Structure formats: structure tokens, C-alpha cells
Amino acid sequence: MSIIRIHPVNAAGGESGEGTSPSESLAGAPLRDPQWYHRPGTLRLPAPPPLSVYVHLPWCLKKCPYCDFNSHEFHTAGATPKDLPEQRYLDAVRADLERSLPLVWGRTVHTIFIGGGTPSLFSPQAIDRLLGDMRARLKLAPDCEITLEANPGTFERNRFRAYRSAGVTRLSVGVQSFNDEHLKALGRVHDRAQAIAALEEAASTFDTFNLDLMYALPGQTLEGLDADLSQALALAPPHISVYHLTIEPNTWFAKFPPALPEDDIAYAMLDRITERTSASGMSRYEVSAYAREGHRCAHNLNYWQFGDYLGIGAGAHSKLSFAHRIVRQVRFREPRLYMENARAGAAVSQSDEVALADLPFEFMLNALRLKQGFTLPQFSERTGLAMTSIQRGLEEAERKGLVARDLFRVWPTERGLDFLSDLQSMFLPDEE
Ligand SMILES: C[S@@+](CC[C@H](N)C(=O)[O-])C[C@H]1O[C@@H](n2cnc3c(N)ncnc32)[C@H](O)[C@@H]1O
Ligand code: SF4
């Protein structure tokens, strides 16, 4: 079995490869008549699950060498955030949303996640317009969680307050490390002091926020990780996401791999993270996420519980359920191509109905990341399948000590979370 290297969810905007993906033809996906989604089919879903919306803002000041998300430097020499085509991009996102409305008609939106890229490059006025456009077209739940991803390198005093006034309820701050040498090796545009200043401002402005850290960094020791944890916990964040640095294909690090800590050190680091977050009152509710009571991320929880999401913006992914089918969509990745196509009413580059045979794996890929796992009724409600479709995988996983279950619930054991990729792969469909 292999050590876990779970990629952050980044709200469905990511996935490997820079620029245009091979499937990104200029023609895009065939335009479907909205009626098509409601036609009879083999699947039977009693009701659609909760709906979230993800918005992807694809630009960064500088591409980090480890990053395979759909993020792009804006290249013009001497360009500043003021040169971002904010309004043109938001026009495209609005057109994209309008075109998508028939697929989510009448449904309440429970969470919104504005991810990237670096959404905090966008001005508060632009975020205000974006949320205004969404409020005018979607039915938002009164307690709708609205998260915005922020990079400490784009932090200015008062900016976070202005995001809050625009309606953002939760900030997710990408810190990665508090060690200036590690930050440099990771190609980050901020230093330790900026990270601390941004987090202090987030804490004083928002009722809840997240701090992203990475571990098993080039040259990092267990003591180094301890120092990062001490600094992170001293800021009393309500939520921390901690990711094992992964070397993704098509990144700078894949071409020029840095020396990384051995696997047994990485294991010890993960144990230390779980121990120390727990000692400071946080619990590990997902493989990479730790929260105080009442501060779990509702948006990510909806992904992990196989809820629905409409993803708009460059490269965003959607998963939408209808009475007789579950559909996945991907938008054009490359920002310019996305803007052109979205404004012409054709933002979607790929659209596929999920095959019945793939549903058990798709469900388990998400639900097994959660410490609480899933309930048996949840599995049937969200996939339309009987529990027998995962019986064989469950028996094998139980025999290997990777899951436990009772009459109502199935959950991964500690060992299951440590070997999550192996556990998930037990639910892959049989080869034809
Ligand atoms: C898409 S990034 C967005 C946040 C923001 N752009 C930033 O970097 O500050 C979300 C998080 O994914 C994590 N991440 C990105 N690439 C990763 C990789 N190769 N390995 C592990 N974690 C990664 C980082 O912790 C990052 O904060
Ligand atoms: S700032 Fe975030 S999204 Fe942008 S390149 Fe770095 S890790 Fe990727």
C-alpha cells in the first residue's frame, strides 16, 4: 500500500496541466436542449442533493512551481492587478451563469466558493458585482456560506473588510508555511510577516476563516513542521487544511524535482499535525481538514457528501443531478478562450453523463475522505443505487481494516484514512 497524497479539492477548479487541455477543442460540447437533462433514463434519483456554486477566477501574480490548478500569470510586462480584465471576465461569468440557469431552476444554493487562481487579486468592487449578479439570478439560502480564497501576497489593509461588505462570509488564506526559506523554495509571493498580518486581519474581520498549510516541503524537518504548526495554532484559526506537497505532472517541480522528506518522516509529520490540532481543540473531520466545532467548511462537505455543484468560470467543473441522470461538465480552461466562448453562450467544453457503473467509485472517492463516512440512505439517495453495488468492495475493505460499519453508517478507520487511495480503489468498476 502507498502513502496518501490527496490532492486538495480546490472546489473543482483544478486538475493537471497548464493551459488548454487536449479535449479543449474550439467547438466545445454540443449544445443540449435543456429538456434533454430531464428525459427518462435508467437512473432513478428520489430528489436532487443540496446545490453549491463554484466560481473560478484564474489569475495569479506568479505561477507556483508545484501548482497544477488552472491558474495563469497575467503576462504583460509591468502588469499590475489593475490591468486584469475584471469586467470582461465578470461579463463572461454572468453569461455563463445565465446559460446554466435552466439546469438548476428553482433550486436553493447553500454555499458559494470563489476559488482560483488568486481571487483576492480581484477588487472588492468586482467581488461585489459578482455576488450581486449571482443574487439577482439564484435563490441563495439565508445562511449561504460564501468563501473567497485569498493569498497573503495580495493583502492590503481594509481589503478584507470590503470583501466582507460585499457579502463574503468566510476567507480561505493560502499560507503554506511560515518559514521564509520554505516560502521561497515554493515560489510564493509572500513572506512570513505578510502571512501573519493577513491572518490577523482575517481573524478580526470574519466570523470564520481557513488557513491552508502544506507539509513535507523541500528540506523540511519534523522540527520545522512543528514550528509552522506552533505559529499556525497561535493564531487560533477555526479551520486548517493541511496538504502533503504533491509533485503533479506538468509542473516546474515535476521537471526539476526538489529533494523531499522521506515517507516515514512525512508519516510522522501527519501524526504530529493530527495530535497538535486535536490538542488545541480542533478535530480532523476530513483527510486534510481540521476544524473547531461549528466551523467545518459547508461547501467542501457538500462535495464530499456527493452533493451537486454548478461550476462557472474558466476550467470549472460541475456535477448536476436530475431525476434520471447525473451529468458532469467542464468549462474552457484557458481564460481568453473561456471569455470568448462564454460570452457567445458556449462556455462548456465537455459534458458527459456519468455511467451507472462509475457511480459507486465516484461516490466513495468523496465520501471516504470524511471521518464520519456516509449513511446507507445517503448512498442510495445520491447514486440511485442499492447498497449491493458496493458490497464486495466494503467486505474487502473491512477485512483489511480500512473501513468500519454499523447498521446505519460506513466510515474509514484511521488506517483507512492513512491509505485512502488504496481504499478508494477497491470501488473501481470492473474492467470490461
Ligand atoms: C488552488 S490553491 C488556491 C489558494 C491560493 N491560490 C494560494 O495558493 O494561496 C488551494 C490550496 O491547494 C494547496 N495546493 C496546491 N497545489 C498543491 C500541491 N501540489 N500539493 C499540495 N497542496 C497543494 C495549497 O495549500 C493551496 O493553498
Ligand atoms: S497562488 Fe495558488 S493557484 Fe496561484 S499558482 Fe500559486 S498555488 Fe497555484
DSSP-assigned letters across all residues of 150-176: E-GGG--TTHHHHHHHHT--EEEEEEE
Residue 119 Cα: closest atom of ligand 1: 6
Q: How far is the CA of 230 from the centre of ligand 1 (A)?
A: 20
pLDDT: which is higher, 35 or 260? 260
In short, whether 174's Cβ falls inside 6 Å of ligand 1 is yes
Lowest mean pLDDT among 10-14, 242-246, 397-401: 10-14
pLDDT in tens, 305-346: 999 999 999 999 999 999 999 999 999 999 999 999 999 999
Closest CA to 186 of 203, 171, 174, 173: 174
Residue 60 Cα: closest atom of ligand 2: 4
**For residues 21, 23, 24 and 29, what is the CA-based torsion angle, rounded to 10 degrees?**
-150
Instruction: Using the CB atoms, write b or e for 206-215: b if 16+ within 10 Å.
Output: bebbbbbbbb
For the cut 50, the answer to whether the pLDDT of residue 16 exceeds it is: no
Per-residue pLDDT at 76 = 61
Per-residue pLDDT at 154 = 74
- 371 secondary structure, DSSP code: T
Atom 8 (ligand 2) nearest CA: 67
Rounded to 5 degrees, what are φ and ψ at 151?
Answer: -110, 130
| 78: Cβ contacts below 8 Å, ≥ 6 apart | none
Greatest distance between any 2 Cα atoms in the chain: 62
Q: How far is the CA of 264 from the centre of ligand 1 (A)?
A: 23
Confidence of residue 157 (pLDDT cuts 50, 70, 90): confident
pLDDT in tens, 165-178: 999 999 999 999 99
The SS3 assignment for 285 reads strand
* End-to-end Cα, the chain, rounded Å: 25
Phi-psi region of 329 (alpha: psi -120 to 50; beta: other; left: phi over 0): beta
Confidence of residue 83 (pLDDT cuts 50, 70, 90): confident
Please, what is the average pLDDT of the chain?
92
pTM, two decimals, is 0.93
**% residues pLDDT > 90 (the chain):** 86
Atom 3 (ligand 2) nearest CA: 117
Closest CA to 430 of 373, 357, 362, 369: 357
Rounded to 5 degrees, what are φ and ψ at 149?
Answer: -85, 135
Atom 2 (ligand 2) nearest CA: 117
Confidence of residue 418 (pLDDT cuts 50, 70, 90): confident
Per-residue pLDDT at 314 = 98
| Single-letter amino acid, residue 287 | V
For the cut 90, the answer to whether the pLDDT of residue 278 exceeds it is: yes
Using only C-alpha atoms, the chain has a radius of gyration, in whole angstroms, of 21
Beta bridge mates, 320: 327
